[in-house]
Structure 1
Amino acid sequence: MREVTFITDFFVICSGSNKRQLQSIARDIELKLHSYGIHMVGMEGYEDALWILMDYGDVIIHLFDKEKRRFYDLELLWGDAPKIHWKSNA
């Protein structure tokens, strides 16, 4: 993102199947990063869990339900930014 905007260096975008799963993903991210001494600047949308935004300054994490991810299509909106495809080791 740093090549197309000054607001952040990276977007992490992922989807979940339901409210409980998205809230669980958000909690796990927060706990894991906190254990590394990385603290969140802010979070929006946790209660509704249709689009949870977690702001870590240089990294902004977007957790979407599938319908909202298709609707907002951040990958297209920010299509000029280089993409880094992440693959889980799990």
Structure 2
Amino acid sequence: MIESIEQIVKVAHDAIDDKLGEDIIVLNVGKISSVADYFIIASAPSERQVKAIAHNVEDELKKNDICVISKEGQDTSRWILLDYGDIVVHIFHDDERDVYSLERLWKDAPNVDVDNLA
């Protein structure tokens, strides 16, 4: 059973990794944003894989009674955003990730090593 935000982050990260998401980055944005505590950013080389990754994140979190509050981008699968309140998951097509470069936009947010999360 998931008991902390950090555990949700770990489950979402692992769900992305299971579907071969690339360049997975977890940012702790809690001290610099009121939007969320964590952003998880990843990418994939095709729309099909972007969609598969997003579905896997939803499925794995739903198994733990964590339901997505809002989702965007499912139609085009170029950038799917899954909003879980304290955690926002961004799954990009490789080309879109280069364009939007969220890592650069949120460069003041510290990277999180998921292996050190509870």
TM over 0.5: yes
Structure 1 residue ranges (4+ consecutive) displaced by more than 2 angstroms after TM superposition: none
List aligned pairs for 1:11-90, cutoff 5 A. 11-86=39-114
Partners in 1 of 2:47 and 2:102 — Cα distance?
A: 20
Alignment partners' CA distance in 2, 1:43 and 1:71: 20
d(CA) in 2 for partners of 1:19, 1:65: 6
Distance 1:66 1:20 in 2: 12
Give the 3 Å change call, closer, same or farther, for CA 77–56 of structure 1 in structure 2.
same
Q: 1:51 is matched by which residue type in structure 2?
A: W
2-side partners of 1:48 and 1:63: how far apart? Answer: 12
Q: RMSD of the alignment, in Å?
A: 1.0
Identify unmatched segments of 5+ residues in structure 2. 1-28
In structure 2, give the amino acid aligned to 1:31. D
Q: What is the CA-CA distance between 1:86 and the residue it aligns to?
A: 4.2
Provide the rounded CA distance (Å) in 2 between the counterparts of 1:68 and 1:52: 11
Q: Which amino acid aligns with 1:7?
A: V
Distance 2:113 2:80 in 1: 21
Residue 17 of structure 1 and its aligned partner are, at CA, apart by: 1.1
**C-alpha separation between the residues in 1 aligned to 2:75 and 2:49?**
12
Give ranges in structure 1 of 5+ residues lacking alignment.
Answer: none
Match of 1:46, SS?
coil
The count of corresponding residues between Structure 1 and Structure 2 is: 87
